[in-house]
Homo-oligomer: A and B are copies of this chain.
Amino acid sequence: MIGTPLLPEIRELIEQRNFSALQRIFNDWMPVDLAELISDLPENEQAILFRLLQKDVATETFEYLELDSQQNLLTALTQKDVTHILNSMSADDRTALLEELPGTVVQELLKLLSFKEFKIAKTLLAYAEDSVGRLMSPDYLSVKKDWNINQVLDYVRTFGHESETLNVIYVVDDFGKLKGELLARELLLSLPEKKVSEIISEDKIITLTASQDQKDALDAFKRYDTVALPVVDSNGYLIGVVTVDDMLDVAEEEETEDIQKFGGIEALEEPYMDLSIPQLVKKRAGWLVILFIGEMLTASALAYFQDELAKAIVLATFIPLIISSGGNSGSQAATLIIRSLSLGEITIQDWWGVMRREILSGLALGGLLGLIGVFRVIIWAMILGHLTTTWIYVGVTVGVSLVGIVLFGTLTGSMLPLLLKRMGLDPATSSAPFVATLVDVTGIVIYFSVASLILGGILL
């Protein structure tokens, strides 16, 4: 029953200005589906449709909108509507919106907030970008240890409507120090007369701090399978709560960054289609130029082997075939190791185990490609009808070089991420193109060294 937006019908109703029919349809929709519909509309129609929504649905829908639609609505809606939305949207979503807007706009918008909301917004914006503080909501419920469950239930019914989550209720002492957490599950299962202190266990509570990196929060959520985590200050006083729904976004951003790094691009901060062409070029040019300059070493290496090349032009024919095999096996190895590192399946301490496995895998894969390579050269020579001993030697040169280069590729691809991690750098930086470039240069040296050994006195 996942909402398919029915766009043609909606489009027709918009053109007929049949707002009452639209309103009836929208009543059955989830805010996330409404947000998708509105985001897909041209900017001048977004506000028209948005105004048809009921007040509470409107705020929730606004929270789901993409940033550019949110910005558009902020200018297209009346100040009254904007004031309502900004004051009623949840504090963490509001922070996410405000942090993307220019400073002057933020100042204007902050003026629309009530004094209470203004203070909250200011505090949250003061935390560093990518810190837990930016995801935090100050809307949580806290109760005392000596209350019984009935008192807690009463309190929740009275004050719970504003709370970001009711899946966890926090227990604090008289000074606001965090003492424990009461899960909705425990609250629902406990008898009304039971005291909070009988249910919670103080030792086992996991907390975040506002200045922590969002990545740490993500790790904690994954590890403890939890729906919300409390944020405390350095003295253990409860200051906010982070909920798991924000974590899926953090996870997605982290993954995107890793994937883009591995593809040899600087991480994009915006969707592909929203970037201007100069921005798009800038994000790619850096790495591309570095790789290009690195790859220039292949030209130097080949210039060094110019005499051999001149004597045996046939060697040139196999250069791309041979060096690309090293690059491909290196990319494979790098992919495996980077992913295993990020899943925690292997650590730096496992380097020797990894190396042993990659030496054996590299020999096997290199041997396989080497065999195919030898046959390729010999069968080709046979088909062209000029199979001589020389061609067999060329075939063996190609085969032996392949073993060496594939082995070198798997070793470089697997050890580079571990080395980067050891140096405190991000292993994902050992991108597929980076490994390929490293291996290309070495590949040429290996190839011509093997050729000198095998073809010395024959062709060279």
Contacts and interface: CB of A to CB of B under 8 A. Distances in A.
A304 to B, nearest CB: 10
Contacts of A323: 320
A283 to B, nearest CB: 9
Contacts of A165: 185
A28 B320 contact: no
A161 B185 CA distance: 9
A187 B166 CA distance: 10
A442 B295 CA distance: 19
Interface string A204-236: 111100000000000110111101000000000
A375 to B, nearest CB: 11
A372 B292 contact: yes
Interface in A1-36: 1-2, 28-30, 32
A62 to B, nearest CB: 15
Contacts of A222: 248
Main secondary structure of the interface of A (DSSP, over half): helix
A220 B336 contact: no
A251 to B, nearest CB: 7
A343 B28 contact: no
A95 interface: no
A329 interface: yes
A58 interface: no
Interface in A301-335: 302-303, 306, 309-310, 313, 316-321, 323-325, 327-329, 331-332, 334-335
Interface string A425-449: 0000000110011001000100000
A284 interface: yes
Contact of A207 (B1, B299, B368): B1
Contact of A272 (B280, B310, B345): B345
Contacts of A161: 189
Contacts of A288: 325, 328-329, 332, 365, 368-369, 406
Contact of A335 (B220, B259, B313): B259
A146 B444 CA distance: 79
Interface of A: 1-2, 28-30, 32, 153, 156-157, 160-161, 165-167, 184-185, 187-191, 203-207, 219-220, 222-225, 227, 244-245, 248, 251-252, 255-256, 259-260, 262-265, 268, 271-273, 277, 280-281, 284-285, 287-289, 291-293, 295-296, 298-299, 302-303, 306, 309-310, 313, 316-321, 323-325, 327-329, 331-332, 334-340, 343, 345-346, 350, 353-354, 357, 360-361, 364-365, 368-369, 372-373, 376, 406, 432-433, 436-437, 440, 444
Contacts of A298: 320-321, 324
A1 B205 contact: yes
A248 B244 CA distance: 11
Contacts of A321: 292, 295-296, 298-299
A394 B337 CA distance: 41
A335, A346, A440 interface centre (most CB from chain B within 10 Å) = A335
Contacts of A256: 339, 343
Given A256-B339, A272-B336, A320-B444, A329 B1 contact: no
Given A272-B340, A346-B273, A316 B309 contact: yes
A188 to B, nearest CB: 5
Contact of A365 (B190, B206, B281): B281
Q: Which 9 interchain pairs have the tightest Cβ spacing? A: A263-B335, A298-B320, A271-B345, A432-B432, A272-B340, A316-B316, A184-B184, A328-B433, A225-B245
9 contacts: A29-B204, A252-B343, A259-B335, A262-B335, A271-B345, A273-B353, A313-B313, A316-B316, A319-B320
Contact of A223 (B32, B220, B295): B32
B346 A30 contact: no
A220 to B, nearest CB: 6
A361 to B, nearest CB: 5
A235 to B, nearest CB: 14
